[in-house]
Structure 1
Amino acid sequence: MKLTSLFPLLFLIPLLASCAEKKQVYIVYFGEHKGDKALHEIEEHHHSYLQSVKETEEEARASLLYSYKHSINGFAAELTPNEASRLEKLEEVVSVIESHPRKYETHTTRSWEFVGLDEEETDSDFPSQKYEVDDRFRVGRTFLRKAKHGDGIIVGVIDSGVWPESRSFSDKGMGPIPKSWKGICQTGVAFNSSHCNRKIIGARYYVKGYERAYGSFNVTANKDNLSPRDLDGHGSHTASTAVGRRVIGASALGGFAKGSASGGAPLARLAIYKACWAIPNEEKVGGNTCLEEDMLAAIDDAIADGVHVISISIGTSSPLPFSKDGIAIGALHAMKRNIVVVASAGNSGPKPGTLSNPAPWIITVGASTLDRAFVGGLVLGNGYTIKTESITALKMDKFAPLVYAANVVVPGIALNNTSQCLPNSLIPELVKGKVVLCLRGAGSRVGKGIEVKRAGGVGMILGNSLANGDQVTSDFHFVATALVTPAVVEKILNYIKTDKKPMAFIKPGETVYKHQPAPLVTVFSSRGPNVLDPNILKPDITAPGMNILAAWSGADAPTKMSIDTRVADYNIVSGTSMSCPHVSGAIALLKAIHPKWSSAAIRSALMTTAWMTNDEKKPIQDTNGLPASPFALGSGHFRPTKAADPGLVYDASYRSYLLYGCSVGLTNIDPTFKCPTKIPPGYNLNYPSIAIPNLNGTVIVKRIVTNVGSGNSTSTYLFNAKPPSGVSVKAVPNVLFFNRIGEKKGFQIVVKARKHKVMNATEKGQYQFGWFSWTDRDHVVRSPIAISLA
């Protein structure tokens, strides 16, 4: 009898375990729509899958967050791991993606002028920041006129929303909204239909995934509004960098970077997709969070709305497999509709292999510097004087005593944190009226200055660590601040140790132009190699991402710190988040000039015409002072005016990307396409660069170029190459003859390891770099090469 009574209990154990399983959001992805169902039928079809794993129909409907119905076939729902596993086993399911919050990090009056796109020949208000009117700027103005400043092109920005009152989003003088636009202006808290105009032609927000992850939305805890309004600043900054209107007299706090702020395509239209939100009860300095399912819904809507370019300054520090990456999946569907998707490489550099958004159908953008600097000064009591980076206008009246943070720290602070000026770590009695040397490491840069001020300090010297190198990022500090390199830190520490009464004086910063050398690759820009598929060389390109001035939210302080009560219409921010919209704006111009070019053709045009030299006509440098490799620089620093006439392009179709997907496990996406029995290697994707890991012997790489050259329809291109060390690189054929525009020519690149080279253990597996090019009388079509030897 006792034994019999156990059976019901044993039966209940699996059920109770299932109930106890923690539910979380998963995306169930089916690939491409077959096109045989109406929108309401698609949603019911998705419901049927949920009902197959849920107890009741009510539970199935309550679990659904999004039904992706336009281009992406799938849904996002709250499931247990067991339910997700059961769905993943179904033949028609391509993949099941666990929701991953993506935290973006800060991931322009000068930048567009720096790359040759200046709207006006003169600017009498700000003559000091102008170059001479040389041929480069005449070409740039011709390019802008030809592109109609981006008019007619719609750029979708997936980010934290928009501050519509900014002058950068004025629609004054703009024509009617393009007839191709199918989107909406979604209203919400502090955002109504009047906030959309002929510039901001659409706005939406996506919060279902965020609320499942963090609980019901609370305005106080979330410091945000349930609407497309941007209370963070990041979204407004990226949007205005890409397509903001020209605003004369823009500057940051203290008048820094004063000039005419403009996006790359100032007459292009803007569609806002807010999918990023503040983490509840956290300071915003570290960035916002963007949920996979919310971003995928935004991409699905953007495709249906009719955008031409999607700009995504969002990524992860460790890339996900393509089949589990919502941005990669959404971007592939966008690419099929000839929408160009641009994304940031990430801010986890200079460590190698940290690059985000590595899918080959995404244009992945790293960050480089401008020729503009914010220069202050530091004078020590022994007469040592050095120029420093600073964007604080705060002034010191006189020399003040100088102390090292580690010598004025409260007892009990961990030894490795004593120099960090962390909150409540300094002793006010030992800091009051003094300048404090703080080192980077733990804590935020701005937070260190706040701690110095709390303790009564009058100034801060912020020293870079060896990991950060000689590049410094400017911030709006709360005390007079000088930013110094590791070498200068050593000099200051030695002065403090050897002088009985060390003193220091910090000069306020000033904006300086034509600061050389520029560009440089930034220290924070994430590096290759591509850890998901080393056969694809990433990043693709770099663009300005250091100290970029652009529009800001009227509801957020420039430092993003709650203690900061200052308000700024424009703010200076750094990150690949800033370099990404530079390329998005350039693409809007290229789309206006070449509306029939594919996404791959535009990428190719940008990559093969990029700068490889700085303004001193020397190779662009990395943070170590050596020439930057393609893992840092990509194909080079973007040059929009040259990209309009690249000569040849490496095109790639949607089906060629599906074929590539077969080589990396991304299969069954499209019901009309099946992977062949013999799958070609990933390096044969028609990409404008070549990467071969672990070369042993000879590899033959296939490529096809399309003639898009201007002028004469006939042209002859000659092959040239600088092979990586230990490798020979030849083209078959090595001369290409074209008789008409649009003609395609195939060729093979024969890459061979030199047998006579004897490698030691450290050389094996290390990448070597080179390039090859096709050249006619008017064009140089250049591609980087990255090869490691087995």
Structure 2
Amino acid sequence: MVAPTKWLGGCDASDDIDNAGCNGKLIGARVFSKGIQAQTSSKGGQMNQTVVNSPWDYMGHGSHTLSTAGGGFVPGASAFGHGIGTAKGGSPWAHVASYKACYNEGCTSLDVLKAILTAVEEGVDVLSLSLGEPRAIDYAGDAIAIGTSLAISKGIVVVASAGNSGPQPATVTNVAPWILTVAASTMDRIFQVDVIFGATTIQGQSLSNSTLGNQEYEMISGENANFEDQSATDSAMCLPGSLDPSKVSNKIVVCTRGGGTISTGQVVKEAGGAGMVLCEGSGSDSSISAEPHVIPAAHCSYSQCREILDYLQSTTSPPVGQIKIREAKVGVTPSPMMADFSSRGPNTITPEILKPDITAPGVSVIAAYSQGVSPTGRSFDDRRVPYTVQSGTSMACPHVAGVAGLLKATYPNWSPAMIKSAIMTTATTGANDGSGIRDKMGTAATPFNYGSGHVNPVRALDPGLVYDTTPRDYANFICSLRPTSTEGLLPTSPPLPLSDLLIPLLLGADADPFECSQLGGVDGPENLNYPSIATTCLPVSGSVTVKRRVKNVGGGAPTYTASVTEPGGVRVTVQPSTLSFGGEIAEEEKDFTVMLEVHDAAVAADYVFGGIEWSDVDGGHRVWSPIVATTKCG
């Protein structure tokens, strides 16, 4: 949660920020633990560190995400010597504040809600929320949706993780339309390691901080390294207690992934192994990752490991090999690619709102880490590091929060929706090899994977046009939904309708005269002035018309022309197809409509994807909005 340019405590603006007693970066840290029982955490083998009621980060997650959003410049940062360079957050000059509401056991809704409301009260500019429910739930039962609706009314940008339940569809969370929901994708950097055997070299990934150098070691498969009375199936996965030290001592052990990657390396280490090759299971070539293994190790795909296993079975002399840790490789193609774990659309609560909104780097991200816990989080690991690599939509979220902070500083009078729109409509949908963004299996990704595309901070600073969504627009959106009770979250009796709960938060003092019944015919949720378009229940005969409005923030008197990429089986008409701004009115707004008409019902029976791009010839702006459509309902 990125704080504003005012001090929240410990210092004030007149203090010397270099003074040892005054921290010029982290200006506030609070803890919320009403729903968590007292506990202790191991540090240095001693169970004496109180976790509850302390804002200290004993998990590393908070340090990693906060430094990604707003960390200052740190030269010479690396993860175990890999990826050495100057680290910085997305908003490196921002003041930051930490609101701790989650622990090893998880989070409670009331703690999260109180943390959000406290941050709002203390005047933060951006909320970066690397947390969420396991699945999307109705807004009235979602503490994050409720708390952030108040944040939006106060002009606070809200950015949140999409969830880590991919690649299954309909798993995206944090789907309230006032939240900027972030998926995770790769960068063009990998942490590679060579496995050399016979005349063959294959590449895996690793963050091992030790290497076997140029020395060859005998290799053995875990399947052949079992105790006589132990299952070869267990030893193939190098499960605890399955490896015979007399068989693996001072050898490279080839294990098939069955449990955690880090704990597998510890099993090999305890059995006396010199190194480990960790193989993905049958058919899985997409989930290899760089991990801080406790021994020299390489994580390799299934197809590559088949070569190793074939070599071990074919040679008559003792098989030997090497593990060589290499420098981080940059310029990897294609990138970005969608992370397997990144949650996918469609939005199960309101399918007329496309989620996720955007994707950002969330795989093997180097950032600061708590030295109160090992880089693996395991008790057997006594290492402590200031920086490490982590992956997740938790890591992608603060990248976008940092960009939002830059936009807030550049355009302090922009609404949260304008900042959100600038980030979404300037995103890119291409990879660095000239293709479109793909998933990890090489299949073309869709807006259900990446939303509007991959974040582009430079383009976001000059978006040309933005879709501004006001709190009153959100109130109209709430009115267009079915009433939903708050039973189970807040102690109300009888339960409140959804509109009675959220509209006062969105509109504040203006909520009193606002009643859904006064609106007459309430527009459907697809007519919320959102930077993307999603429609369901398209009639096989007939059409659906969606309303939008855009605001000129590029200055001058530009004329924008719409170009359309039609979804399969759907004809799209934009009216008017050109928008001319006079230049006399600052941030002038123009309305347009998008008519969608099915011409091939068989194709449109599934979700189909397209988009609209507004472009001005002279200004070089390209304002992109994805379109998702289907004849299916719900």
Distance 1:681 1:419 in 2: 56
CA 1:460–1:682: 2 relative to 1, 3 Å: same
Residues 431 and 437 in structure 2, CA contact (< 8 A), matched pair in contact too: yes
- Give 1:461 shift: 1.2
- Give 1:178 shift: 3.7
- How many residues align structurally? 586
Aligned partner letter, 2:56: R
CA 1:416–1:695: 2 relative to 1, 3 Å: farther
2:492 maps to: none
Q: For 1:707-750, what per-residue CA distance to the aligned partner results, in whole angstroms no more than 9, with x for missing partners?
A: 1113x2x1111111111111111101111111133111111101
CA 1:661–1:456: 2 relative to 1, 3 Å: same
Q: For 1:390-430, what per-residue CA distance to the aligned partner results, in whole angstroms no more than 9, with x for missing partners?
A: 22132225333333323334578788755332322323233
1:308 maps to: 125
1:747 maps to: 592
The 5 A counterparts of 1:599-618 are 599-618=416-435
Residues 223 and 231 in structure 1, CA contact (< 8 A), matched pair in contact too: no
1:787 maps to: 629
Distance 2:598 2:189 in 1: 43
State which of 290, 301, 324 in structure 2 corresponds to 1:485.
301
1:774 maps to: 614
1:63 maps to: none
Distance 2:596 2:84 in 1: 50
**1:227 corresponds to 2:74:** no
- Give TM-score, length-normalised by structure 1: 0.71
Distance 2:10 2:133 in 1: 29
2:96 maps to: 270
**1:459 corresponds to 2:300:** no
1:66 maps to: none
Distance 1:570 1:706 in 2: 42
CA 1:530–1:469: 2 relative to 1, 3 Å: farther
**1:571 corresponds to 2:388:** yes
1:30 maps to: none
Residues 285 and 303 in structure 2, CA contact (< 8 A), matched pair in contact too: no
CA 1:529–1:399: 2 relative to 1, 3 Å: same
Distance 1:660 1:416 in 2: 55
The 5 A counterparts of 1:223-622 are 224=51, 226-253=53-80, 255-279=81-105, 289-381=106-198, 383-396=199-212, 398-409=215-226, 419-441=236-258, 443-465=259-281, 469-500=285-316, 501-622=318-439
Aligned to 1:477, the other structure's residue is in SS state: coil
Residues 196 and 202 in structure 1, CA contact (< 8 A), matched pair in contact too: no
Aligned to 1:600, the other structure's residue is in SS state: helix
Residues 463 and 485 in structure 1, CA contact (< 8 A), matched pair in contact too: yes
Q: For 1:274-306, what per-residue CA distance to the aligned partner results, in whole angstroms no more than 9, with x for missing partners?
A: 111233xxxxxxxxx122111111111101101
Distance 2:142 2:580 in 1: 41
Residues 196 and 203 in structure 1, CA contact (< 8 A), matched pair in contact too: no
Aligned partner letter, 2:250: G
Q: Which of the two has greater helix per residue?
A: 1
**1:675 corresponds to 2:507:** no
Aligned partner letter, 2:28: G
Aligned partner letter, 1:674: E
Distance 1:594 1:317 in 2: 35
1:720 maps to: 563
Structure 2 residues not aligned, in runs of 5+ = 12-18, 42-46, 484-497, 505-510
Q: Which range moves more in the overlay, 596-605 or 467-476?
A: 467-476
Q: Which runs of 4+ in 1 moved over 4 A?
A: 181-185, 193-196, 410-418
- Give 1:575 shift: 1.1
1:687 maps to: 530
Aligned partner letter, 1:518: S
Distance 1:456 1:344 in 2: 41
Q: For 1:567-593, what per-residue CA distance to the aligned partner results, in whole angstroms no more than 9, with x for missing partners?
A: 101111111111111111111110011
CA 1:507–1:729: 2 relative to 1, 3 Å: same
Distance 2:245 2:548 in 1: 66
Distance 1:575 1:519 in 2: 15
State which of 174, 185, 206 in structure 1 corresponds to 2:32.
206
The 5 A counterparts of 1:150-161 are 155-156=2-3
Aligned to 1:251, the other structure's residue is in SS state: strand
Aligned to 1:208, the other structure's residue is in SS state: coil
- Give 1:772 shift: 0.9
- Give TM-score, length-normalised by structure 2: 0.88
Aligned partner letter, 1:675: C
CA 1:386–1:236: 2 relative to 1, 3 Å: same
Aligned partner letter, 1:786: V
Aligned partner letter, 1:683: E
Distance 2:611 2:604 in 1: 20
Aligned to 2:408, the other structure's residue is in SS state: helix
CA 1:743–1:262: 2 relative to 1, 3 Å: same
Residues 199 and 270 in structure 1, CA contact (< 8 A), matched pair in contact too: yes
Residues 182 and 306 in structure 1, CA contact (< 8 A), matched pair in contact too: no
**1:733 corresponds to 2:573:** no
Structure 1 residues not aligned, in runs of 5+ = 1-153, 157-176, 186-192, 280-288
Distance 1:486 1:335 in 2: 47
Distance 2:438 2:121 in 1: 42
- Identity percentage over the alignment? 42
Aligned to 1:749, the other structure's residue is in SS state: strand
Q: Which range moves more in the overlay, 699-708 or 432-441?
A: 432-441
Distance 1:348 1:223 in 2: 31
Residues 204 and 288 in structure 2, CA contact (< 8 A), matched pair in contact too: no
Aligned to 1:605, the other structure's residue is in SS state: helix
